[in-house]
Structure 1
Amino acid sequence: MNSIKIIKNEQERARAVERLIYLMDIDHPTEDVSAQIELLALVIQDYEQKVSPLAPVDPIDAILFRIEQMGMKRQELIPYIGSQSKVSEVLARTRPLTLAMMRRLHKGLGIPAEVLLGSDNPEIDLSNNPTLDYSQFPLVEMNARGYFGERLIASARELKDRAEELVSGFLRGGAGDKNTLAFLRAPQSQSGTRNMNDYALAAWMERVKQKAIHEKIDVPYQPGVVTDLLLREVVKLSSFDTGPKLAKEHLARYGIVLVVEEHFQKTYLDGVAMLLNDRAIIGMTLRHDRLDNFWFVLLHELAHIQKHLNPDNPLITDDLDDKVQQSQAIEQEADQIAQESLITSFAWLQSKVRTSYLQQDAHQLARELGISISIVAGRVRRETGNWRLLHNCLGKGVVKLMFERME
């Protein structure tokens, strides 16, 4: 058999075609000649597809071709597309096909999935129904926050119709969409008095991960970097007006990313600690936008990273207002570490403010320890359960604004 090589240019293609025509004119080709014909045809086809690939088939043209082929009328597409008006709009190309429509068209009319999906979503399986109910995601809130792109979708109906592709696109834009989907598919063991909306929590976590993966860290996170010394260093930063910003920068030096993202309704969330690739992540909602809350939640999550977070337990969510959840051993330990890091038991027992609840005594202890007065005020309020005490010392409404200016 003559040597047949991959075609690299038009001259080689012309010679290959000439050779193919010659061989095909042989009246009684031998097995060797037949094999050459087959191989030449393959290398010519391969070259032509590379040089002039076939244009993708338009899905609407494919639908029209299929119904003509099957002798169907346009109104017979209603079971696949949804209504007469939707059929008209889709065929006029003024309404995009949704994944639900594509799935029905693929299953019912046998239109190839790759034609309906195009090149944007090649990994989506139209043969099976989705394993998640995408309409359960907080679509309106996600849309308002720009999770689906810059163009806001005005119609709640359109959001619901396109839920699968919108949410799938959002998840594909992140670093951990498979983990997020696994989180939703697994049975959750929430132990608090208020059950979180798992879909809203998953969307929030994915957004936190998307933000965190783009944050610069000085070194990859290593287990054991959160020491008692690091906790004290972070607390000392509270004495500065820009303490939260300084804390974020300081933690990045240890591979720990601090991300703020507003919570969704029915998530009852203060913070999370999680692992992702080369970094540990602390996500905070700032649903209580006060400095005392910021510092306590931050130290609570750092305690989780120090003591509880590991590859076998890569995610811990916290609702610090939930007394049932906070009764768990790891939550009690995190609370104790956070409280002791912020103000040691010895310093607290020696302080005047512990019994006086006076603002001047709170200032005195804050100056002595080199920390924010908000931390002292928060300790008084937690110890007494009297949430009216020292309310002017909490740093209300400053933390969210500070992080918004950093974005």
Structure 2
Amino acid sequence: MDHIKVIKSEQGHEQALARLMSLMDADPAPGSREGDELDVLAFLIERYEQEQFPMDTPDPIEAIKFRMEQQGLRNKDLVPYFGSASKASDVLNGKRKLSLNMIRKLTTGLGIPAEVLIRDPVQQLANESEVDWQAFPLSDMRKRGYFEGFTGTLQELREYAAEKVSKLLSSVPSGFDLQPAMLRSTAHLRSNDKKTDPYALWAWQVRVLQKAQEEQLPTNYEKGTVDREWMQKLSQLSWSEQGPRLAIEYLNRSGIHLVVEQHLSKTYLDGAVCVNANGNPIIALTLRYDKLDNFWFTLMHELAHIALHLDGTETWFIDDLDAVGEDKKEIEADALAQEALIPREVWSNCHFFGPDSVRALAQSLNISPCIIAGRLRHESDNHRLFGGLFREKIKGALRDYV
């Protein structure tokens, strides 16, 4: 024991092996001097061999072929694992990448360990996540360009859904934290009686974060910047035909992202707001209704959440503004949004007799008449009011953002 040294050379390795064999022949008692020496030598030899002769993980395709040879399988026997004879041939010839879906079938059916077949870090991440990858609205996501660089068919996307969606989720710091199981604790969801698809909402949230991440702001947000006075100044940009674009610049100069991202099917969204890892608010608008007044009210509503509620205890506010409810925070946000656009004392003293009175009030407040007409239609529940007047669209003004 006094002369045992760390093995550093081939000669030392051979000497240690010879001594190990000698001790094993002697079969020393556990705990004896020779028994302890045997244990130490075995440990040192193993460590040296691991460093000098590392065992590579078998190539996935070679592992499949080896198991086929063991079990006497032909290419056609792999159809249940790959989906078709042509896919089986492509995989075995290295022309098609193994999908996580295939890997799981091979692990279950042929007993090949997943760690042998998985080489892609994205696949490893997807394999460790208990997510139903097929539950995402893959067709809509593909059409909207959620999967950058993917040009395959919907069928191919379904085969590689775990990889493609996992890559999307991992593209932003908190992508996996938005999963449906955590939605109740990480988001304040204002919705109507229609059932929201949680996977569509999850994908949309990640897409919003992804777009904001790609945008460089000139400054960081200072808490307390957004208040009623700040919002009123912003609302006065609506008087200009370029108002929506000017609003985005106004927000950016204060460290606030504005992302336009169309809602996915079964999400019924108008807007949302959250704070990114840098502390900068992100406002997302879907422009679900192509109306200028809807743009301004939704924007003000999300800004009201920043002013009143984004204190770190709520990660997201997600809004369907058609929903009617008694949620205190939503009532507060609606009230501040209305106050910023048209002060309460002004509105209560107004009497409208036609388009001219709408224009006069708009001019006095320096805001778009569409905002006033939109509120009148909403409160009177008469969406035919003023006929074709005051019905400017928003998507044309933001065509570069849609």
Query: SS state of the match for residue 267, structure 2?
Result: coil
Matched, 1:142 2:141: yes
Residues 287, 122 of structure 1: alpha-carbon distance in 2 compared, 3 angstrom cutoff: closer
Please report the RMSD computed on the Cα atoms of aligned residues, expressed in angstroms: 3.3
- Partner residue in 1 for 2:245: 245
Q: CA deviation at 1:300?
A: 0.8
On the 8 A contact 1:78/1:87 being kept in 2, the answer is yes
What is the CA–CA distance in structure 2 between the aligned matches of 1:191 and 1:283, rounded to whole Å? 16
- Partner residue in 2 for 1:163: 161
- Partner residue in 2 for 1:17: 10
On the 8 A contact 2:229/2:340 being kept in 1, the answer is no
Matched, 1:400 2:395: yes
5 Å-filtered alignment, 1:280-359, equals: 280-322=281-323, 324-325=324-325, 327-351=326-350, 354-358=351-355
Normalised by the length of structure 2, the TM-score is: 0.82
Query: SS state of the match for residue 405, structure 1?
Result: coil
Residues 369, 190 of structure 1: alpha-carbon distance in 2 compared, 3 angstrom cutoff: closer
User: Gaps spanning 5+ residues in structure 1: where?
Assistant: 6-14
Quick one: percent identity of the two aligned structures?
37
More displaced stretch, 327-336 vs 213-222: 213-222
Q: Give the number of equivalent residue pairs.
A: 384
Amino acid at match of 2:239: S
What is the CA–CA distance in structure 1 between the aligned matches of 2:223 and 2:180, rounded to whole Å? 24
Q: CA deviation at 1:383?
A: 3.0
What is the CA–CA distance in structure 2 between the aligned matches of 1:44 and 1:73, rounded to whole Å? 37
What is the CA–CA distance in structure 2 between the aligned matches of 1:184 and 1:235, rounded to whole Å? 35
On the 8 A contact 1:263/1:287 being kept in 2, the answer is yes
What is the CA–CA distance in structure 2 between the aligned matches of 1:195 and 1:167, rounded to whole Å? 23
What is the CA–CA distance in structure 1 between the aligned matches of 2:121 and 2:395, rounded to whole Å? 37
What is the CA–CA distance in structure 1 between the aligned matches of 2:52 and 2:243, rounded to whole Å? 63
What is the CA–CA distance in structure 2 between the aligned matches of 1:42 and 1:345, rounded to whole Å? 78
On the 8 A contact 2:262/2:286 being kept in 1, the answer is yes
Normalised by the length of structure 1, the TM-score is: 0.81
Amino acid at match of 2:111: G
Q: CA deviation at 1:162?
A: 2.4
5 Å-filtered alignment, 1:361-380, equals: 361-380=357-376
- Partner residue in 2 for 1:387: 383
- Partner residue in 1 for 2:31: none
- Partner residue in 2 for 1:213: 213
On the 8 A contact 1:201/1:267 being kept in 2, the answer is yes
Residues 403, 44 of structure 1: alpha-carbon distance in 2 compared, 3 angstrom cutoff: farther
What is the CA–CA distance in structure 1 between the aligned matches of 2:130 and 2:6, rounded to whole Å? 49
Q: CA deviation at 1:120?
A: 3.1
Amino acid at match of 2:362: A
Matched, 1:46 2:51: yes
What is the CA–CA distance in structure 1 between the aligned matches of 2:191 and 2:282, rounded to whole Å? 23
Residues 44, 161 of structure 1: alpha-carbon distance in 2 compared, 3 angstrom cutoff: closer
Kindly provide the CA deviation profile for residues 58-107 of structure 1, in whole angstroms up to 9, marking residues without a partner as x.
32221111121233344433443334444334334444322121112123
Residues 247, 46 of structure 1: alpha-carbon distance in 2 compared, 3 angstrom cutoff: farther
What is the CA–CA distance in structure 2 between the aligned matches of 1:184 and 1:88, rounded to whole Å? 41
What is the CA–CA distance in structure 2 between the aligned matches of 1:302 and 1:190, rounded to whole Å? 15
What is the CA–CA distance in structure 1 between the aligned matches of 2:51 and 2:124, rounded to whole Å? 24
5 Å-filtered alignment, 1:183-198, equals: 183=181, 192-198=192-198
**Misfit runs of 4+, over 4 Å:** 1-5, 21-38, 182-191, 218-223
- Partner residue in 2 for 1:226: 226
Q: CA deviation at 1:42?
A: 3.5
Q: CA deviation at 1:2?
A: 7.8
User: Gaps spanning 5+ residues in structure 2: where?
Assistant: 24-33
More displaced stretch, 67-76 vs 369-378: 67-76
More displaced stretch, 186-195 vs 210-219: 186-195
On the 8 A contact 1:143/1:153 being kept in 2, the answer is no
What is the CA–CA distance in structure 2 between the aligned matches of 1:37 and 1:136, rounded to whole Å? 51
What is the CA–CA distance in structure 2 between the aligned matches of 1:36 and 1:105, rounded to whole Å? 40
Determine which structure has greater relative contact order: mean sequence separation of CA pairs < 8 Å that are 6+ residues apart, divided by chain length: 2
